Amino acid sequence: MIQQKITELTVRELSRKLQAKEISAVEAASAYLTAIKEKEPSVGAYLSVLEGAAMQKAAEVDDRRMKGETLSPLAGVPVGIKDNICTRGFKTTCASRMLENFTAPYDAHVMEQLQGADAVMLGKLNMDEFAMGSSTENSYFKVTHNPRDLSRVPGGSSGGSAAAVAAGEAAFALGSDTGGSIRQPAAFCGVVGMKPTYGTVSRYGLVAFASSLDQIGPLTKDVRDSAMVMDCIAGYDKRDSTSIKMEKLSYSSEIGKDIRGMKIALPKEFFGEGISEDVKNGIQTAIMQFKALGAEIVEVSMPTLAHALPAYYIISSAEASSNLARFDGIRYGYRAKDYDDITELYKNSRSEGFGAEVKRRIMLGTFALSSGYYDAYYKKALQVRTLIVNDYNRIFEQCDCILSPVAPTTAYKIGEKTANPLEMYLGDIYTVPVNIAGVPSLSMPCDTAPDGLPVGMQLIGKPFSEPTLYRLGYAYERAQG
């Protein structure tokens, strides 16, 4: 099988061919590494490519398969990893000067799961520095380009992960989602992204941005692949105090079931000012398709949506201020060369080691937590969080899921919004409530705009309803061909 064909296969298709020995793991890894060499100069998805380690792992998988060992469905499947997920013995930079030379001394829980499944890691993927951004333009090292249109952003902060899957540079990828960082790049690049229920996937080994919001999830070519990866990475981990101990879910258990009679909520607030005609038309296409499949569309109201964005930026910035305090030039990370005393060492190391967006959010978070302002800002944001959770609970009492846009627009031009951070923040309006409430959300393509750019929709469910979201997403995907 030629290289191009291998990189076009879904995870499920590749897994079948590997198990049937129609393709070897070495051939699969080689095909993806060749694609990376060809496409990286224009796409820029990877920060490091681990060719030697990938080929060695692939050879081990082939050897074990030839001996007749029973292997996981993901054995030999090539994967790219967002560079804020710790990988033992390899650099984990968070796309920051602060961690430019940091080699992780341990593996994240999700990496242990993938290694246990014998997946082949191709390398570490570009991102917005410390996952702060919506365009992957905030990386210290490079700007990633959208494979669908190289003049446009891939979204962020998991832009490298989405771009790698869309460009055929990884069979699937892992990203992290704090306020839409898996779902928005998935929408911009035309791939499938899952932000799981908070606590479903362990955060152990994920470099923290905002601990009460962060979640690791997969980016894949289609819905079935996403469920397949979730079956591998989800599960309880005692090292993560927020990990939820529960009966193991089968994420693909509802795929293929009929969706007739299911109720899909459509909050009217999601279609107000700021949404582009391309996105509005794409969601309208999705509504008509779901109706044709027998689902019932229920118009609802979500009045707290207007308060979600300011609450998110206060909570996330406050937690970032606390989490990033450890990077001080003393213990590990970047250390300034010029300083006269320890105060200047702290100041210079942090000023030189962090980029503009990270410093902006640290300052905002420190202000929100400071004496005299905690009650006025942070405490109020937590109260808004409770109202948002209540809104979701009320809707889920009568509906199976919520349908909404992922972003107000399709992918915008590189450099178009860098001068106006507030405008970029407003692009997160549809995604941040999901993280605030801790519920799952599936982002997937629903249409193509006249200029050829993908339009994304998200299906939002109550906690632990990922199998239901996959059921709905797969029904839509199959109906759309």
Please give the average pLDDT of every successive group of 10 residues along the chain, which has 481 residues. Answer: 78 98 97 98 98 98 97 98 98 98 97 98 98 97 98 98 98 98 98 98 98 98 98 98 94 97 96 91 97 98 94 97 95 94 96 97 96 92 97 97 97 93 90 98 97 98 98 97 83
Cβ atoms of 369 and 318 closer than 8 Å: yes
**H-only helix segments in 93-201:** 109-116, 159-166, 183-189
pLDDT (0 to 100) of residue 61: 98
Residue 249 per-residue DSSP state: P
What was the pLDDT predicted at 88? 98
Burial of 4 (0-12, 13-18, 19+ CB in 10 A): exposed
* All residues at 6 or more sequence positions from 451 whose CB lies less than 8 Å from its CB, including other chains: 149, 278, 410
Closest C-alpha to 183, from 367, 442, 365: 442
Q: Specify the pLDDT at position 66.
A: 97
Contacts of 156 (CB under 8 A, 6+ apart): 127, 128, 133, 134, 135, 136, 137, 138, 181, 184, 185
Q: Which residue has the tokens 């095909």?
A: 31
**pLDDT score for 421:** 85
CATH number of 3-233: 3.90.1300.10
Active-site residue, 202 included:
no
Positive or negative, the CA dihedral 473, 190, 167, 84 is negative
Q: How much is the pLDDT for 129?
A: 98
User: What is the predicted pLDDT for the residue at 219?
Assistant: 98
Asked if the bond preceding 96 is cis, omega within 30° of 0, the reply is no
The distance in angstroms from the start CA to the end CA of the chain is 24
Which residues partner with 192 through β-bridges? 220
Q: Contact 345/330 with Cβ under 8 angstroms?
A: yes
d(CA 448, CA 461): 24
- Select from 276, 269, 282 the least CA-distant residue to 409: 276
Please state, in angstroms and as integers, the Cα–Cα distance from residue 143 to each residue in 89, 308, 369, 414, following that order: 25, 29, 32, 9
Examine the residue annotation and report whether 157 is marked as an active-site residue of this protein.
yes
Burial class of residue 447, CB neighbours in 10 A (0-12, 13-18, 19+): buried
Best CA proximity match to 328, nearest among 301, 308, 310, 348: 348
Distance between CA atoms of 243 and 201, rounded to whole angstroms?
A: 7
The DSSP bridge pattern shows strands 441-448 and 454-460 to be: antiparallel
Residue 326 CB neighbours (<10 A) = 11
Q: Out of 17, 39, 57, 82, which one is annotated catalytic?
A: 82
CA nearest neighbour of 396 among 337, 333, 439:
439
CA 404 from centroid of its chain's CA atoms: 17
Three-state DSSP at 140 gives: coil
**Chain centroid to CA 168:** 17
The rounded distance, in Å, linking the Cα atoms of 415 and 147 is 16
* 413 catalytically annotated: no
Which residue among the candidates 139, 161, 176, 181 is catalytic per the annotation? 181
Annotated active-site residue in 30, 96, 135, 157: 157
Amino acid (1-letter code) at residue 268:
K
pLDDT at 478: 96
Task: Estimate the crossing angle of helix 223-233 against helix 466-480, to 10 degrees.
Answer: 160
Cα Rg of the chain, angstroms: 21
- pLDDT given for residue 331 in this prediction: 86
Q: Helix 25-43 to helix 51-66 angle, to the nearest 10 degrees? A: 160
Q: Residue 123: which region, alpha, beta or left (left: phi > 0; alpha: psi -120 to 50)?
A: left
3 state DSSP class of 265 = strand
Q: Strand pairing partners for 298?
A: 265
Q: Which H or E run contains 383? A: helix 380-396
Residue 363: how many other CB atoms lie within 10 Å: 12
